[in-house]
Structure 1
């Protein structure tokens, strides 16, 4: 099993079937909270639905098209983060993430996003990383803004969210920008 330790409290683990119950429980506890911004929540009704998602993420990893990780905080699953896909021709990817409400305001998502951007640029050799956030989801938008991403514009009414459209703000960062800010 792959895991990446960020610090004593925080680590990332590739999604595996042994985490189905924990992931399902996290979604159940946060169902109303997550539905504010994520269109897939109503589609997760059983352990089997989570198992299907994990199967898709394993195929994504095997196909060298990115990966999805569970975010573990003090031994508890706190959320999910990963690459939507990797465009190898253009050397770019986008990051998606969500976190349970009880894990907010601990700096978890900033630290995990930083790790994924670092990995995309320094290890995978990508040139561009993108994050899209619902325009009114200010908590999510704070993450790319804090990490130095540029606001590249708004995609108007780009996602159907249960009963209405939401617009997405597109944030991007280029390899040179990232290396200038975070070179070691």
Structure 2
């Protein structure tokens, strides 16, 4: 199975169905925390919904269109990181991520995204990486800013999360 050691306490593994139960529990426990930024939470009602999602992501991985990684911290699932979209023709990867609330502030996501960029360069020949974050989501925005991404502008009213529309900052990194 695909696993990458990020540091002594953290590793990222390819998302597989065996992780569905624990990933669902993390999602469910953090539902209130995540709901402000993630529009898909209401579609995840039971562990089988997470299992179906992972199966779809594995299909996208097999087609070379995405990569869904599960972050483990001290042996427990802490969140996810990956390429929501790989554009092979344009050598571009669109990065997405989230962490459970208890895992924020430990540098996990910065280190995981940094490693994902290396993986994208080495194994997918990517040269451009993009991260989009809600303008108001300062914790999410801090990741690309720490990693040297360039703020390329703002897309207005681009994502509806339940009853609120968010503008997104687009960050790009060309290597």
TM-score in same-fold range (> 0.5): yes
Segments of 5+ residues of structure 1 without an aligned counterpart are 176-184
Q: Secondary structure at the match of 2:51?
A: helix
- CA distance, structure 2, for counterparts of residue 23 and residue 29 of structure 1: 10
C-alpha RMSD of the superposition: 0.8
Which 4+ stretches in 1 moved above 2 angstroms?
A: none
Segments of 5+ residues of structure 2 without an aligned counterpart are none
Q: How does 1:92-107 map to 2 (within 5 A)?
A: 92-107=92-107
Is 2:37 the counterpart of 1:2? no
- CA distance, structure 2, for counterparts of residue 37 and residue 123 of structure 1: 30
Q: How does 1:63-142 map to 2 (within 5 A)?
A: 63-142=63-142
- TM-superposed CA distance for 1:147, in Å, is 0.2
Q: Are 2:88 and 2:124, in contact at CA under 8 Å, matched by a contact in 1?
A: no
Q: Secondary structure at the match of 1:170?
A: strand
- CA distance, structure 1, for counterparts of residue 10 and residue 146 of structure 2: 19
What number of residue pairs does the alignment pair up? 175
What residue is the counterpart of 1:152 in the other structure? 152
What residue is the counterpart of 1:34 in the other structure? 34
Q: What is the TM-score with the length of structure 2 in the denominator?
A: 0.98
Q: What is the TM-score with the length of structure 1 in the denominator?
A: 0.93
Q: Secondary structure at the match of 2:64?
A: coil
What residue is the counterpart of 2:59 in the other structure? 59
Instruction: Identify the range of structure 1 (116-125 vs 52-61) with the bigger mean alpha-carbon deviation.
Output: 116-125
- CA distance, structure 2, for counterparts of residue 122 and residue 152 of structure 1: 25
- CA distance, structure 1, for counterparts of residue 110 and residue 7 of structure 2: 13
Instruction: Identify the range of structure 1 (138-147 vs 124-133) with the bigger mean alpha-carbon deviation.
Output: 124-133
- CA distance, structure 2, for counterparts of residue 123 and residue 62 of structure 1: 14
